[in-house]
Structure 1
């Protein structure tokens, strides 16, 4: 399977390595990036046969079977539409788009072309989270009542790369998808969010919020809480919890592995310093599953409607902060 990668940044680099070395039967055919020399450098590093500054080149290439989109979020919808119209299977990093109108347009193109679309909500592929979902699916945990999802980044954000709603659209959107994933079949109906610039108070006047807590009420009565902060002094921290009628499951503790060293200075565990360190296996697994989906071996595990559900919550959360009150999902515009 020949796959083209669009975007050679931090996430694109990890995906390029996975496509080249970690997923059998897949070849990195081309790299696309508009920055001068960026695609060529990555293509050379990973043995891709072509490098382009314009994605139209890979869409026009009949030997390319699929594309992996790791470009900035504002370009996702247009790239999905173009890829679908070219008949390419699509793996797109989250979010699928930044507005519901753009996402619906992209999903319409996917449906019309009848191509595969998988969205990069990686937490579904982490063993802890997948195991918790199995407990829900087989009835062991019972009907979910309270859910919690946490994302704390290790810091170092460049304010030039942070938009006013980044914390909702690109960070907490993972947590919003997690809440839905752990409450299957339920639909979010109301969102209330509070957020501020606590890591970098000087960002506040520009609307660049770095810390947020969001409460999500679902139509089955369950209540979820998602929280995020752009800086955790101890490293990258992703955790989850689902409390149900028959029990509770907790996921994640920020450790790279289960080893704890006990010595004269106390107990020390190795904590992750980045998402690619903590979630490396999930990033590889989601692309491996995508390859199997394209081959027709598996159904799409996380698709356009999942992306739409998460984006709807993200947009409602941002609107809730601006209005200072709870927001019904039906209030969220395109």
Structure 2
């Protein structure tokens, strides 16, 4: 490990023909995965630093990807002239503050979802990036999964016709063994279904959400419901083009990680998503078997590479992020409406979530 990069008040403009120099902030599970993908699979980008306040975490990840610098002090990467952009993969409740700090330092930002957990936070993050003139991309990976991208093309080229019914679901692999006390309240909406809310908007381009009604319970851990824990949910969303959508989530699918989407329209239907790890089906004495993914980083490997590559391209070319802060704000608005619906038992107008 080399010494810290020299310090500057802000990064210099990116060099068009040079690789984008990226620092990871947050060396946990998804941060480690994203960092390895940048190092090994993203053309035109390199990892130059890793920051994490947990002692030793940044150093371990930096060593794994041959990054030259690791630190427990996030400010050291934010002021470094050797860093063009940051990957924010720290805990969700810190995202908006880190986006603002990175933008103020002149760094382009890839932020894992959710970008924020309140609309005020989202607005501050968007404003900070716009004021600094930096790229801000949010990690809604399903837009980059081949099947979901193809479904969107079927909408764009008119094959689906006018979208009428949409569906998106996320079922995390089971058995679910996490202590519910360690799961922040409303995680199922703010960190799980937030993907599905963005997917439904993605598959219904140009339409805006109008109303939300949510149902949720603790069906996997009923004993934890009294403390506010929710592990199973269904959300209904109406859009201003008349389409009706449902989003569904569970924290425990015993058969593997399950992510699917569907858009049904006046001319046809497109579906996306499959838990298979290969297209092999085994037929034996015990029945029919397929191999399924147990981790999102396996099932959505190509999608993660795609979103990180799109971010690097946007930084290198000065183009607009494919998934913007405004996209993240819309998904958050739906999530907050779902939370209010659970609290009130009523349908909530998006207009109420200012």
Q: TM-score w.r.t. structure 2 length?
A: 0.92
Tell me which moved more, 32-41 or 149-158: 149-158
Partners of 1:152 and 1:11 in 2: CA distance = 18
Q: Is the CA contact 2:135–2:320 (under 8 Å) kept in the aligned structure 1?
A: no
CA deviations over 1:11-66 (Å, ceiling 9, x no partner) = 01101111111112321111111111111111112111111112111111012000
- 2:310 aligns with 289
2:118 to 99, 104, 108: 99
Tell me which moved more, 45-54 or 132-141: 45-54
Partners of 2:213 and 2:305 in 1: CA distance = 34
CA deviations over 1:42-99 (Å, ceiling 9, x no partner) = 1112111111112111111012000000001100001000111111110000011000
Tell me which moved more, 149-158 or 176-185: 149-158
Partners of 1:98 and 1:190 in 2: CA distance = 19
What pairs with 1:52-71 in structure 2 (closer than 5 Å)? 52-71=71-90
CA deviations over 1:216-269 (Å, ceiling 9, x no partner) = 000111011000000011111011110001000111121112211122322211
- 1:15 aligns with 34
Q: Is the CA contact 1:29–1:50 (under 8 Å) kept in the aligned structure 2?
A: yes
* Structure 2 spans left out of the alignment, 5+ residues: 1-19
Total equivalences in the alignment? 333
Partners of 1:256 and 1:158 in 2: CA distance = 28
- 2:251 aligns with 230
Q: What's the CA shift for 1:161? A: 3.1
Tell me which moved more, 286-295 or 298-307: 298-307
What pairs with 1:60-209 in structure 2 (closer than 5 Å)? 60-154=79-173, 155-209=176-230
Partners of 1:179 and 1:158 in 2: CA distance = 30
Partners of 2:213 and 2:278 in 1: CA distance = 35
Q: Please state whether the residue corresponding to 1:153 is helix, strand or coil.
A: strand
> Residue 45 in 1 paired to residue 48 in 2?
no
Partners of 1:321 and 1:243 in 2: CA distance = 27
1:317 to 312, 329, 338: 338
Q: Please state whether the residue corresponding to 2:253 is helix, strand or coil.
A: coil
CA deviations over 1:282-309 (Å, ceiling 9, x no partner) = 1111101111111117541111110000
Q: Please state whether the residue corresponding to 2:191 is helix, strand or coil.
A: helix
Partners of 1:45 and 1:300 in 2: CA distance = 28
Q: Please state whether the residue corresponding to 2:242 is helix, strand or coil.
A: coil
Q: What's the CA shift for 1:113? A: 0.6
> Residue 279 in 1 paired to residue 309 in 2?
no
Partners of 2:320 and 2:129 in 1: CA distance = 15
Partners of 2:134 and 2:320 in 1: CA distance = 12
Partners of 1:253 and 1:59 in 2: CA distance = 39
CA RMSD of superposed structures (Å) = 1.1
Partners of 2:159 and 2:336 in 1: CA distance = 33
Q: Please state whether the residue corresponding to 1:292 is helix, strand or coil.
A: helix
Distance 1:40 1:94, change over 3 A: same
CA deviations over 1:104-153 (Å, ceiling 9, x no partner) = 01111011011000000000001110001001111111010000001000
Q: What's the CA shift for 1:162? A: 1.0
Distance 1:149 1:7, change over 3 A: same
2:266 to 245, 249, 255: 245
Q: Is the CA contact 1:243–1:249 (under 8 Å) kept in the aligned structure 2?
A: yes
